[in-house]
Amino acid sequence: MEVVIIAYLTQNEFEQLGFDDVENFEKLEKRAEVAINLFLGNFYSAVDFERDYEPRKQAVKLATAYQVAYLDASGIMTADDKQSVSSVSLGRTSVSYKNSSKTSLESARYNLSLDALNALKGAGFGYRGVGYDRY
């Protein structure tokens, strides 16, 4: 299966969403999209992002923006990095990854920020249950 990387977000859209300008936006955006594509199971390799349902597209754009900001602030670029770091301190902000909740484990598995994960789940992505048809 070929993995397709689709540009979900431009730097202009990132700033219009209210996020501060970041250095190396293109690099961070590509890294964010890799994490999001992994979480989505490469959904957009089979579905045209530009023709998708608008609220779902907006959720993916927002998740990408949150992920870019997270990568920029934390410096944690991969899931391996996140697993090996128990906490990060940036100025007055401290982040600890010792929480063992299901959401925390899921975000660590894909190196997604909690905000990105919430945006994607709010659009219906991430459902892992089994659908049963009853007659």
pLDDT truncated to tens, each residue of the chain (135 aa)? Answer: 555 556 899 999 999 999 999 999 999 999 999 999 999 999 998 999 999 999 999 999 999 999 999 999 988 777 666 665 666 677 777 766 655 555 566 677 888 999 999 999 999 998 776 767 666
94 assigned to some structural domain: yes
Specify if 30 maps to a domain. Answer: yes
Residue 108 belongs to a domain? yes
Q: 12: alpha, beta or left, given left = phi > 0 and alpha = psi -120 to 50? A: alpha
Given a contact cutoff of 8 angstroms between Cβ atoms, the answer to whether 62 and 54 are in contact is no
| Domain count for the chain | 1
- Residue 125 in domain: no
Is residue 80 situated within a structural domain? yes
Return the H-helix or E-strand segment holding 87: strand 87-90
Task: Evaluate whether residue 5 is within a structural domain.
Answer: no
3-state secondary structure of 88: strand
131 in any annotated domain: no
For the chain, give the number of residues. 135
**Which residue range is the domain that position 67 belongs to?**
11-120
Q: Please name every residue paired with 87 in a beta bridge, in sequence order, or none if there are none.
A: 96
